[in-house]
Amino acid sequence: MTSATAARPWRLGTRGSDLARTQSSHVADALTAAGAGALDLVVVRTEGDVSTASLASLGGTGVFAGALRAALLDGEVDVVVHSLKDLPTAPHPGLTIAAVPPREDPRDALCARDGLTLADLPAGARVGTGSPRRAALLLIARPDLEIVDIRGNVPTRLARTEDDLDAVVLALSGLRRLGLEGRATEILGPPSFLPAPGQGALAVETRDDVDSELPGLAAALRAIHHAPSAAAVVAERTLLGRLEAGCAAPVGALATLDGEDLELAAVVARPDGALHLRRAAHASIDPADTTLAATVGRDLADDLLVSGAADLMADA
């Protein structure tokens, strides 16, 4: 394992897509401003970037994280940036999420031809998404839609609305980070559209021994950490983990914090949208204590499981 020294910049591992590089650049700038010094971006190619198969067939959320984590453990990079919604909920031996920067807007966005909204789309409209959650929520709202499975970067997906699709659904956070928010024709948000757990949030991951191995970087990571964002995503991801669900299961969750008041809303649906469950929970927590947020997520997941969520997810 190679330790960073003052003789070279820190190495920040990132996927190669425009969105991933933009997100990682923002984190690098924040770390530099917090006193970490210079960081070099190191592009790591992942299976999810190479294959055109569906995420579910590739194994789900871990498809984007594996190569980045291997580079981190091998000492090829000092820190990596993940989209939290793409990160498996189980801890990875030897690694720790050292910082969750302030979360971007977690909602989904409809990007349709001719400025159409979801209600305005014609009967049988073709809507593209690679997310079973988005597909199910779209079909709950509009059972007549034809859902088309799509992959590719954000510009590639948007271009499909000028070709063979009437609309695509993307994360609003990604559009904003790329300066493409103007392509959204409707924001799809609560209560009917709940995002993927962790959507809009980033995870900055390091090796467990970062404090002793890379003290200057560790201090900067603590400085960019945003406790309310971390508490929210811990609640959402704990719920997801308790449900033993991944990207192939249509599960949405959104935690919001108002001071110490946490509200967690969740939905579990059948892939065809024909059946779904919605539940919510409220609690008073200390945002700095993620164990309390985790308890909220675990308890709400148990409520969903008692209500039959496992049977819905079994159809995914």
> What positions carry a catalytic annotation?
85-86, 133-134, 151, 157, 247
Pick the closest to residue 82 from 199, 205, 171, 232 (CA basis): 205
Cα 70 from Cα 67, distance rounded (Å): 5
In this structure, what DSSP letter does residue 32 have? I
Pick the closest to residue 273 from 312, 314, 305 (CA basis): 312
How far is residue 71 from each of residues 81, 82, 253, measured CA to CA in Å?
Answer: 12, 13, 30
Give me the DSSP letters along 151-195. Answer: -S-HHHHHHGGGTT-SEEEEEHHHHHHTT-GGG-SEEE-TTT-PP
Cα 85 from Cα 216, distance rounded (Å): 28
Cα 157 from Cα 98, distance rounded (Å): 32
How many helices (DSSP H) and strands (DSSP E) are in the chain?
Answer: 12, 13
Cα 72 from Cα 74, distance rounded (Å): 5
Pick the closest to residue 54 from 66, 43, 46, 63 (CA basis): 63
Which residues, 6+ apart, have CB-to-CB distance to 182 below 8 Å?
Answer: none
In this structure, what DSSP letter does residue 121 have? S
